Structure 1
Amino acid sequence: MNTVNQHVPALARPKLVLQAFHLCKARSKVEDAEVIWDTLADLATPLRIADLEKLPKLTQLERDRIVKLAEDTVNSYSREERQQLIVPLLPDLDGKTLQIDIPASLTSPSVKVAIYPAVIHDSYAIDLTRCYENSQFTVTELGKHLNPKGCLLPSSVRASIGQTLLLFGKPVDWPENEAEFVEVAKGFALALLQDAALNDRTELHLSGQGKFLGGSILGFESEHPN
Structure 2
Amino acid sequence: MSRVLVVTGGSRGIGAAICELAAARGYDVVVNYSGDSEPAAEVVSRVRAHGRKALAVRADVADERQVRKLFGTAGEMGPIAGLVNNAAITGNTPGRLDEQSAATVRRVLEVNVGGVFLCCREAVRRLSTRYGGPGGAIVNVSSTAARSGSAGEWVHYAATKAAVDTLTFGLAQEVAGEGIRVNAVAPGLVATGLHEAAGLPDRIERLAPGIPLGRAGEPAEIAEAVLWLLSPESSFTVGAVLEVGGGR
TM-score if structure 2 supplies the norm length? 0.24
More strand per residue: 1 or 2? 1
Greater Cα radius of gyration, structure 1 or 2: 1
Q: Quick one: higher RCO (CA 8 Å, sep 6+), 1 or 2?
A: 1
More helix per residue: 1 or 2? 2
